[in-house]
Structure 1
């Protein structure tokens, strides 16, 4: 039954190769750039064996001590920056999540650096220790696209490949200053969806494997049901022969 489950998990769905066995990391709060001394939680989601809940966590390719679905970072420091991955009992390793800890007063906080076309993208304007930021302007590839008097976020409900860019933003702090603060530049990449034609061979291949498995199971069940009656008939025939009795076939297969 586990083989059938594994095969079904790889069957392509909706025009994409659906790799449901890959673990997924979810950030809370959902920003890949965070301030020093802030708290961050990473959640690992993925299929598990019944009765097992252990998780492997990796930071820059090295296993870390956490073995639960939740990895907490309290009062984040620069040493917490890096590439995080996780893996559950029945999953492949997750896609890497690059977490950066900043000491700058005005970092740009995107929800993701890499995302799939059609997914939402949010970039937040957020000052150090929740200080207000005024006159906020967002720039993709140095071109201003949004202005706000107060702290705000740039939200793209359905990102497409045209939204791939290098973003930064500018803003002023609570003390009036003729020169606005400018964040570091953050690249964001939107990946396109695969076409149905490109995944058609995967659909045929994995569907065929699943049907073969079901056919073998059906044959096996049929053989197992016939085996006890054949063994019982053979035993009775042998017993009658030992007593010199004539053996009359009652095996349904001889009729």
Structure 2
């Protein structure tokens, strides 16, 4: 019985090829992970105290028609407490604090009127850096009520043309909106006056220039029941960096060359 000595060049090539494959696999996995949806902002309105809190405690400003309210006053407490047993639908799944499950939600009583509420972002969101952006939240209230999403670009506040009707006064429903270029937004004016107004015409998002500086919700009064919102979130899918694309292509070329050389070497020593 005869044995054939292992070709050292073939062994070296296999080792190198394995290393490149492992490295490229790790790199590509990281690239895919970085391209997944990122949470850019999340607010669950957690409040396990015995009293309701003002929205400003959560970094939100609230404006309502019929009152000259800029921001939130001490008499306008809008974040409900978790008095009594926590309801599972009110659990703050986005922002748990340590091991505690904290409840809380934004509540707008039927006598509050139409409401615009939003958070001013610490760091503006660059729309050019994301392939897609989406809003999401949970709502409940009377069928005659209405919710919209709020978008602040620069110093101008807009509400989405698309509206959302609560599914029930007792059951939470999830709503979402993708910020496509074709999504339409109407400007809100008069927030610091006696009452605000929403423009009768809307513009496509592609026509609105600037970074996103604030996000939130609009709620229209309907019926005799209160309206509620919870678990507000903004997500985005980043655009891959050009260097990432170039490096991925480079790895593919290297792998192709090494496989070609390996096949040629194998034929030579057969």
Which category of TM-score, normalised to the shorter sequence, fits these structures? 0.3 to 0.5
Of structures 1 and 2, the one scoring higher in RCO (CA 8 A, sep 6+) is 2
Q: Indicate the structure (1 or 2) with the bigger Cα radius of gyration.
A: 1
TM-score (norm 2): 0.35
TM-score (norm 1): 0.36
